[in-house]
Amino acid sequence: MADGDRLKPVLKWFEQQGWQPLPFQRETWQAYLDGKSGMIQVPTGSGKTYAAVMGAILEMLQAPSSGLKLLYITPLRALSRDIQQSILRPIQEMGWNLRVESRTGDTRSSQKSKQLKNMPDILITTPESLAVMLSYKGAKERFNSLRAVILDEWHELLSSKRGTQTELCLSHLRQLQPQLKTWAVSATLGNVQEAAQAAVGIGCEPVIIQSNLQRQTIIKSILPASVDSFPWAGHLGLRMFQELVDALDINRSTLIFTNTRAQAERWFQALAFAVPEYLDRIALHHGSIDVQEREAIEAGVKAGQIKWVVCTSSLDLGVDFQPVERVVQIGSAKNLARLLQRAGRSAHVPEGTSEILFLPTNALELLEISAFRSGLAAGDVETRRPLENPYDVLVQHLVTLACGDGFKADECLETIRQTVTYSQLTDEEFGWVLDFIEKGGKCLGAYPRYQKVVQTEGLYQVTDQKIARMHRMSIGTITSNQAVQIVYTNRRKIGTVEENFVSRLKKGDVFFFAGRQLEFFMMKDMVVYVKNTTRKSTVTPTWGGGNLAISDSLSMYLRSEIERFQPDANSNQKLNQELECMLPIASTQKRISHLPASNELLIEVCKTREGQHLYVFPFEGRFVHEGLGFLWGYRFASQQKATFTISVNDYGFEILAPKDYPFKQLFGDRFFDLENLYENIKSGLNISELTQRKFRGIAQVSGLVFKGYPSARKDTNQLQVSSSLLYDVFSKYEPDNLLLKQAEQEVLLDQLETHRLTKTLDRLSQLNIVWKETKRPSPFAFPLLVERLNSRMSNESLLDRIERLKQQWMNK
Amino acid sequence: MKEIDVLGMRLQLLAEKAVYLEDKQTLLVADIHLGKSETFQSLGIPIPNRVNQTTLDRLEQLCLKVKPQKLFVLGDLFHSKYALVDEVLEGWSQFQAAVDAEVVLIVGNHDRPLIQVLKNTSIQCSTHAIEADNLLLSHEPSPQQGFLNICGHIHPCVHLKEKLDQLRLPCFYLDRTQNLLVLPSFGEFTGAYEVSLERNSAAYVIADDCVVALER
């Protein structure tokens, strides 16, 4: 068949719309109809949904059959409605006989059970809902006619446990249906090939379709009227709010991105204070605000009633905001990919220009703006890599399969190794996971009453319906602290906050949430009841996990920005306005200490009343600095004992030691040694405390803690246990448990980014070290001094610690 | 060990998470939760059953050291119906055989549904609080005028925190207004509930083998 013929029905619909298919759309449809799998990488808003689905629809029209044929997987259930609408449009207008439905956590359960019996032609779902479907018997028949899976916003899932879960579910679908085609849709990534491979699975050659659409991104900044010679403190940057208001226009629809929810709350208040007359045109949108209210805000923006939305990554994705004209980023976006994504929310048409207004929250962020511009100009963007062997997700997946039709070990292992994430899984590791779900662990006889997965004639299955029910309720890999609902006394929902915030509140306390001033009334059954109030307070809830670090790519540009201040390097090149604005700081830095060139590592020592400070400026991002700080701390302390306080930010780290600690004398080349790197870091920081925190998520994903519903039934009441208690028990009785090992790996790789640390040490060892003794902290050191987000490193005994804490407590 | 005085009674708070009344040669422990690991196992969560033996070994060591005439368990000896399996009950009988003390269980909320089964064992149970002179032993707190109420149930712990450091430690909790003393939970695999210290109350925290008083 000629290509034009194959595409006829779709071309006809495009023609009716007055559209011309874009080359990348045609290319995708043809590749699909040739039976290929692959990945589409185009800017958001350029028609990727139709590129992705039309191939499959054409196939359905050519060869009609009953049953489910296309699965469309989206990371956000809120998006499923929009996607369903756009898929339905051509179907309805052309009168094609195809049924489209969604299935997410929000779908009614009656609808869900109907779907299990009678699947639509096209089903839009989330990774979690797909996993739940696999946990019911009859998956083989259910997915018997499946021809294709589309993975939307794959870059968002790829390097998370949700991405791993998706890879696993897809590998299982491919086992059931070897001819299955997979098409991922992704934003710009540094590792396109790997991302595509993870989507289609190993053993399949992905077609990569990139558009030649040029989306220009322009960064502008909102500069403070003047910059002191010291960077100001306060990471909220609120003192710039008047400048922001002046730069905005209430008639132009604008998204104002912040990095944390707490920051969004505060900025919303500031704007509401600045333009009270427009209060009905300003809104606040973040992940803890109730879904219905968020949907109302999204609708308001679309309809043009709401003009300014202060938001977090909650609006990074999704809903096509055609009318958004401007995007503002408050504080550094910390990586190029995120900046591009956010900038892309404006001018949501194929070849538009994206413009982003950048508001620095401290003076050193001016450097970052400048670095962003250089990074974008070079076309650089970060890579997002699939995880490596997260055992917890595998445990969950195997139990999911066992709840459904069951699995056979050999066949299952072979399938799992088709995922990029588990391609290196060893027989031993897989054996451990099998033992864990079947017998409770490797330790023989330790778990005589254990029952979960039962093996009969080589088939692993869950036979106890109670266990299957509990498992289905805990499917998913999104873990967060226990959230409690916030509700008005008339029961209208406002959103959720973390339990540990609420636990500090007493009746009558006033706090800010969802842009409202609320009075705490009472808490009952995981619900907080509140009333509106006009009484003043400055408390804003905090949410965990808000710390972002600058990326590998960005840090490189950051270092070269500093270079541009060197007089000789830039004699013929004018500084841009951000660097111009920063000049007072640069010259103070130079006068008090030194401005490091790209072949220099600046180390400052400074004596204050607090003690002896060591400042090191590798400009590698806070996570790398945390690892490096502990490593060097350990290497100092192993020569001369001390208690240190280590502080980090994206530019450098500080080690604070007692008076007259001889940093310089103790320092030497061996500080850059890669030997015993992990061991040194582990002895340096209290790794068990960090590991324990990571274990919380792992315990939840692997089904060790059961959250279920709060109005717990009898059986689940007996299962209440904290993950820290589990951590202690496992460490003591089964120290070889792979889930403990995974927690440690997550600390080293995700939190301390030790892979970057090795590269960093290597780079630093080649630099000339410039030691400066300063009389007072330099502008670079100042933020470390005032915004101390730090940890302690010490070899005090438990009793000493209690005595010290007791003194503090008595003095309160 | 820390000795305190309430209503004229001398109490030894032991770092082993028990109270010893020297005058009465009586040892008190609470919330042992035997068979909690079996309960978890039955519902698909692999907790090693050695936690039972570790708990019992600690209790046995303690009894051999203090040599009490009487041992009162202030409730929640067993965790749930899944706990009443041979290997768990067997462990408990072996413990009873190994110590000379008379052992009495004051039934707690976890034991209460199991009472029919417990009646068929050699465990001496009391479904009510026990009074002795001006001492009232119970599982749940039930303070009474003129009595010192010693109980369990709460699993108290204290959270100490400063900018750079924090600790969560099990404790004895004493409310002097109500003359109420709550024991820390004895079992290996038991959680804890943070108590806050009001006026007229004190916490005696357990740090390794010491008991440290926190009172203002």
pLDDT tens readout for residues A77-134: 777 888 899 999 999 999 999 999 999 877 888 999 999 999 999 999 999 999 999 9
CA A652 to chain centre: 23
Contact B79 A451 (CB under 8 A): no
The minimal CB distance from A809 to the residues B41, B160, B190 is found for B160
Largest Cα–Cα distance of chain A, in whole Å? 85
- Backbone torsions φ then ψ of A276, nearest 5 degrees: -60, -25
The residue whose two tokens read 């951590």 is A727
A81/chain B closest Cα distance in angstroms:
37
Residues of A in contact with B164 (CB under 8 A): 645, 790-792
Please name which of B211, B205, B117 lies closest in space to residue B156, comparing C-alpha atoms.
B205
pLDDT at A139: 92
d(CA B83, CA B38): 6
User: Which DSSP letter does residue A74 get?
Assistant: -
User: Which DSSP letter does residue A650 get?
Assistant: S
CATH 3.40.50.300 residue ranges for chain A = 3-210, 216-377
CB of B80 less than 8 A from some CB of A? yes
The distance in angstroms from the start CA to the end CA of chain A is: 83
Contact A449 B46 (CB under 8 A): no
Please name which of A551, A483, A525 lies closest in space to residue A333, comparing C-alpha atoms.
A551
Please name which of B187, B180, B208 lies closest in space to residue B40, comparing C-alpha atoms.
B187
Contact B214 A808 (CB under 8 A): no
d(CA A127, CA A152): 11
Question: What tokens appear for B60 in the block?
Answer: 């046995």
Contact B165 A801 (CB under 8 A): yes
Q: Under a CB-based contact definition with an 8 Å cutoff, are residues A567 and A595 in contact?
A: no
The minimal CB distance from B45 to the residues A464, A704, A725 is found for A704
The residue whose two tokens read 């039976």 is A35
Spell out the residues 6+ positions from residue B171 whose beta carbon is closer than 8 angstroms to its own.
B156, B157, B158, B184, B195, B203, B204, B205, B206, B214
Contact A447 B46 (CB under 8 A): yes
The minimal CB distance from B167 to the residues A467, A706, A802 is found for A802
CA A297 to chain centre: 23
d(CA A137, CA A411): 18
Closest residue on chain A to B47 (Cα): A447
ipTM value, please give it. Answer: 0.88
Show the 3-state SS of A99-146. Answer: CEEEECCCCCHHHHHHHHHCCCCEEEECHHHHHHHHCCCCHHHHCCCC
B165-191 confidence digits (pLDDT tens): 678 899 999 999 999 999 999 999 998
Please name which of A699, A710, A708 lies closest in space to residue A739, comparing C-alpha atoms.
A699
d(CA A361, CA A365): 7
A197/chain B closest Cα distance in angstroms:
35
Contact B41 A721 (CB under 8 A): no
d(CA A648, CA A17): 55
B19-45 confidence digits (pLDDT tens): 999 999 999 999 999 999 999 999 889
Tell which B residues from 33 to 52 touch A, by Cβ distance under 8 Å.
38-51
The residue whose two tokens read 């997946």 is A397
B116-161 confidence digits (pLDDT tens): 999 888 899 999 999 988 999 999 999 999 999 999 999 999 988 7
Contact A798 B208 (CB under 8 A): yes
Written as one letter, the residue type at A25 is Q
Contact A448 B191 (CB under 8 A): no
pLDDT at B182: 97
Please name which of A542, A234, A244, A553 lies closest in space to residue A365, comparing C-alpha atoms.
A234
CB of B8 less than 8 A from some CB of A? no
Other CB atoms within a 10 A radius of the CB of residue A424 amount to: 10
- Give the angle B110-B111-B116 at the CA atoms, nearest 5°: 140
Best B42, B78, B211 member to test A by mutation, with max A CBs in 10 Å, is: B42
Contact A449 B49 (CB under 8 A): yes
B80/chain A closest Cα distance in angstroms:
7
pLDDT at A375: 87
Question: What tokens appear for A619 in the block?
Answer: 């400009």
Q: How many residues does chain B have?
A: 216
Other CB atoms within a 10 A radius of the CB of residue A713 amount to: 11
d(CA A178, CA A162): 23
Distances A566 to A114, A587, A619, B184 between C-alpha atoms, Å: 69, 10, 17, 64
d(CA A541, CA A524): 19
Q: How many residues does chain A have?
A: 812
The minimal CB distance from B48 to the residues A443, A802, A809 is found for A443
Instruction: Identify the CATH number of the domain defined by range A3-210.
Output: 3.40.50.300
Give, to the nearest 10 degrees, the angle between helix A738-746 and helix A723-733.
Answer: 120
Bridge partners for A519 per DSSP? A510, A531
Q: Under a CB-based contact definition with an 8 Å cutoff, are residues A499 and A525 in contact?
A: no
Other CB atoms within a 10 A radius of the CB of residue B174 amount to: 25
CB of B199 less than 8 A from some CB of A? no
Best B39, B164, B208 member to test A by mutation, with max A CBs in 10 Å, is: B164
The minimal CB distance from A721 to the residues B50, B191, B212 is found for B191
The minimal CB distance from A805 to the residues B38, B41, B165 is found for B165
Please name which of A243, A338, A256, A332 lies closest in space to residue A515, comparing C-alpha atoms.
A256
Residues in chain A where the model's pLDDT stays below 50:
235, 545-546, 709-715
A213/chain B closest Cα distance in angstroms:
51
- Beta-strand relationship, A483-488 and A493-498: antiparallel
Distances B87 to A163, A445, B52, B104, B122 between C-alpha atoms, Å: 43, 12, 10, 21, 15
Q: Under a CB-based contact definition with an 8 Å cutoff, are residues A390 and A742 in contact?
A: yes
Residues of A in contact with B38 (CB under 8 A): 448-449
Class of the B2-214 domain?
alpha beta
Residues of A in contact with B208 (CB under 8 A): 798-799
pLDDT at A709: 46
The minimal CB distance from A451 to the residues B44, B50, B166 is found for B44
User: Which DSSP letter does residue A388 get?
Assistant: S
B191/chain A closest Cα distance in angstroms:
7
Contact B48 A441 (CB under 8 A): yes
SS3 B125: strand
A721/chain B closest Cα distance in angstroms:
7
Spell out the residues 6+ positions from residue A781 whose beta carbon is closer than 8 angstroms to its own.
A593, A604, A606, A613, A615, A652, A654, A774
Please name which of A613, A550, A661, A625 lies closest in space to residue A789, comparing C-alpha atoms.
A625
Beta strand residue intervals within chain B, DSSP E: 2-6, 9-14, 18-21, 26-29, 70-73, 102-106, 124-126, 130-132, 135-137, 148-151, 156-161, 166-175, 180-182, 193-194, 201-207, 210-214
d(CA A430, CA A119): 33
Residues of A in contact with B206 (CB under 8 A): none
Spell out the residues 6+ positions from residue A358 whose beta carbon is closer than 8 angstroms to its own.
A219, A220, A221, A222, A328, A329, A369, A372
Written as one letter, the residue type at B163 is K
A202/chain B closest Cα distance in angstroms:
33
Please name which of B23, B216, B211, B26 lies closest in space to residue B103, comparing C-alpha atoms.
B26
pTM of the model: 0.84
Could you tell me how many CB contacts below 8 A there are between chain A and chain B? 113
d(CA A324, CA A348): 8
Q: Domain A216-377 falls in which CATH fold?
A: Rossmann fold (3.40.50)
